[in-house]
Structure 1
């Protein structure tokens, strides 16, 4: 896999992972939960934000593995993580809008 396709793969995975917590009510999109009274369980916002942080680190680990596979991994400082974390939150904005800001019909 060349540099260009690796870059696009990481961007697409980051976009999908950033919106994943907002488009389903399963924990990490794997573990279904049921409410005690039999009604549908809704994931709280705090859990969605925790999943967002976990998915940020998963995508970051995948990006680091792809970078190491290419052959040149560069040391990163705190500025890199601040920028990529902010970018991940920006990529999550469409899912947040659909879940919390869109008016139901």
Structure 2
């Protein structure tokens, strides 16, 4: 696999990981909950763990390709966190904004 293909695959993995907490009622897509809906604090915790996991995978790939990690400051990780939030936007919209519609297509009134 070339480096260009690897970059695209890694980007798609980041997008999938950012949206996973919003599209499933299970924790990490594996562990079922006893509740009918997953609370937001669990979604947020799951999202932060997936951010750290994807960062670790990226660091492992960088180490394998280049032999060492390029030193990064706090700004790099801060920007990375917000980029991960941008990747999660479709899942957020699907769960919280489009989830307000009934099966008949009518929108429920805002409370």
Task: Give the TM-score normalised by structure 2.
Answer: 0.83
Query: For residue 16 of structure 1, what is the aligned residue in structure 2?
Result: 16
2: distance between equivalents of 1:74 and 1:9?
A: 21
Unaligned segments of structure 1, at least 5 residues: 36-40
Q: Distance in 2 between matches of 1:68 and 1:75?
A: 12
Task: Report the count of equivalent residues.
Answer: 100
Gaps of 5+ in 2: 106-111
Select the structure with the greater relative contact order (CA < 8 A; seq sep ≥ 6): 1
TM-score (norm 1): 0.88
Partner deviation per Cα, 1:35-92 (whole Å, 9 max, x = no partner): 4xxxxx2101111011110000011111111111102420111011011100000100
1:1-105 equivalence runs, <5 A: 1-35=1-35, 41-72=36-67, 73-102=69-98, 103-104=100-101, 105=105
CA distance in 1, matches of 2:75, 2:33: 37
Q: CA RMSD in A?
A: 1.3
Structure number with greater Rg is 2
